[in-house]
């Protein structure tokens, strides 16, 4: 039976977030509502989750000694990764010592490396995936590209939010993509994955929750990406029942293999009658931010409930809904947002500004949310709302 003590007392339940971006911020909000003590960790000060957590720490999470020292100092009940750039081998050692890593150290290590998770899905679980190959040097890369042909997608073995990802159509593209992937990849693995392009009908995120009572699913989320980065999402994405059932079966198999409790964002391609496994994240997914308005329990609430061992009796969709990312381009540490009266004038719309301290290049700084009688109506609302926003650098 789960018991939660008062934060900052001896009986407190303590959760350490490794990564404190917009997803971490919403997790801290969910933790605060349940009276759980939170420690937000990231590589830079003033990260969104740090602005709300009980305590914050700035460390290089790829540095195993720094990570170990902080964990032993704080002694959290749960260690919850929110980003990819973490010393995963150290997480495994900490788990072996008795610390609880969410969902498991094995799951974090596998999903944060595209080679490991692809081999698990395709070679061990025999799930349908696009054809692929891995390369750690120029010769291997050229051989993989020649075998797969064009078009194809090149990604770093470790990255997030589309960083380092590029679609290639010819040899010139291929060389640029290889250099870009190596430069942008996290963890300095020095390797890339090349995937044969699948001309899919659509792609979805199936939020899959492993908890003490079993496995639950949110309604499928459709989404649009550019260069691998989320632009907008909507829920539900309607599909034939038999296709959805196959997607759930695939999501169950891969999350079961990863183990532990928590919410997983399973990304899938749908082409005709076929469901292709793409990727999985062992935590809330950026496309799932639509659940902040669409459901009785958001993906963040669900993740925290599953972690703490609390019941998840029913996930209820309020109505069709959509989200659209607010992308800011430029260089500034004094970003401000205006015309908010017009942004929020539409009925059943909402706004989340993440509070990121600066932008350098392009950065996701917020999200607009809306309900509608149909998905199309909700998508129109968020597009119109974002178009009214005034961004000042």
pLDDT at 159: 66
pLDDT at 163: 73
User: Residues 209-244: pLDDT tens digits?
Assistant: 999 999 999 999 999 988 668 899 999 999 999 999
Cβ atoms 309, 261 nearer than 8 A? yes
Residues 6+ away with beta carbon under 8 Å from 185: 156, 157, 158, 159, 163, 164, 191, 192
Q: What is the mean pLDDT of residues 289-317?
A: 97
321 is written with which tokens? Answer: 């809904």
User: Residues 24-46: pLDDT tens digits?
Assistant: 999 999 999 999 999 999 999 99
Reported as a pLDDT band with limits 50, 70 and 90, residue 189 is low
Quote the CA–CA distance of 291 and 209 in Å, as a whole number. Answer: 14
pLDDT at 119: 94
CATH placement of domain 14-101:
3.40.50.20
Chain centroid to Cα 40, Å, comes to: 17
Catalytic residues: 160, 162, 267, 279, 286-287, 364
Helix (H, G, I), strand (E, B) or coil at 14: strand
Cβ atoms 288, 265 nearer than 8 A? yes
User: Residues 287-302: pLDDT tens digits?
Assistant: 999 999 999 999 999 9
User: Residues 85-142: pLDDT tens digits?
Assistant: 899 999 999 999 999 999 999 999 999 888 999 999 999 999 999 999 999 999 999 9
The DSSP result for 272-312, as a single string, is TTEEEEEEEESS--GGGGGHHHHBSS-HHHHHHHHHHT---
User: Residues 62-99: pLDDT tens digits?
Assistant: 999 999 999 999 999 999 999 988 999 999 999 999 99
Reported as a pLDDT band with limits 50, 70 and 90, residue 161 is low
Q: Which residue ranges make up each domain of the chain?
A: 14-101, 131-196, 202-392
Angle at 117 between CA 323 and CA 48, to 5 degrees: 40
What CATH topology corresponds to 131-196?
Dna Ligase; domain 1 (3.30.1490)
Is the model's pLDDT at 57 over the cut of 60?
A: yes
pLDDT at 123: 96
What CATH topology corresponds to 202-392?
D-amino Acid Aminotransferase; Chain A, domain 1 (3.30.470)
């Amino acid at each position: 039976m789960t018991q939660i003590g008062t934060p900052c007392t001896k009986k407190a339940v303590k959760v350490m977030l490794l990564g404190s971006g917009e997803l971490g911020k919403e997790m801290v909000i969910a933790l605060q509502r349940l009276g759980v003590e939170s420690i937000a960790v990231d590589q830079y000060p003033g990260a969104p989750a740090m602005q709300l957590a009980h305590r914050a720490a700035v460390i290089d999470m790829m540095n195993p000694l720094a990570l170990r020292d902080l964990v032993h100092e704080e002694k959290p009940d749960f260690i919850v990764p929110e980003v990819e750039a973490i010393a995963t081998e150290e997480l495994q050692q900490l788990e072996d010592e008795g610390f609880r890593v969410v969902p498991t150290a094995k799951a974090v290590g596998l999903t944060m490396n595209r080679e490991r998770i692809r081999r698990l899905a395709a070679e061990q679980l025999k799930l349908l995936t696009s054809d692929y190959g891995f390369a750690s040097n120029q010769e291997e890369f050229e051989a993989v590209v020649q075998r797969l042909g064009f078009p194809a997608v090149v990604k770093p073995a470790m990255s997030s939010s589309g960083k380092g990802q590029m679609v290639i159509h010819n040899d010139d593209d291929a060389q640029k993509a290889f250099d870009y992937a190596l430069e942008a990849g996290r963890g300095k693995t020095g390797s890339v994955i090349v995937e044969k392009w699948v001309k899919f009908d659509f792609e979805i995120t199936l939020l899959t929750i492993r908890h003490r009572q079993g496995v639950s699913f949110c309604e499928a989320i459709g989404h649009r990406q550019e260069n691998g980065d989320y632009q907008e999402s909507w829920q539900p994405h309607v599909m034939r029942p038999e296709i959805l059932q196959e997607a759930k079966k695939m999501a169950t198999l891969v999350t079961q293999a990863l183990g532990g409790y928590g919410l997983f964002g399973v990304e899938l391609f749908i082409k005709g009658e076929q469901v292709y496994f793409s990727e999985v994240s062992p935590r809330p997914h950026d496309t799932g931010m639509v659940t902040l308005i669409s459901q009785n329990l958001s993906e963040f609430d669900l993740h925290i409930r599953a972690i703490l061992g609390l019941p998840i009796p029913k996930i209820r969709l309020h109505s069709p809904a959509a989200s659209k990312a607010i992308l800011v381009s430029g260089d500034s540490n004094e970003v401000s947002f205006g015309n908010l009266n017009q942004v929020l004038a539409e009925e059943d719309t909402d706004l989340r500004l993440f509070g990121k301290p600066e932008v350098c290049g392009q950065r996701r700084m917020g999200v607009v949310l809306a309900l509608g009688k149909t998905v199309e109506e909700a998508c129109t609302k968020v597009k119109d709302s974002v178009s009214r926003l005034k961004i000042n650098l």
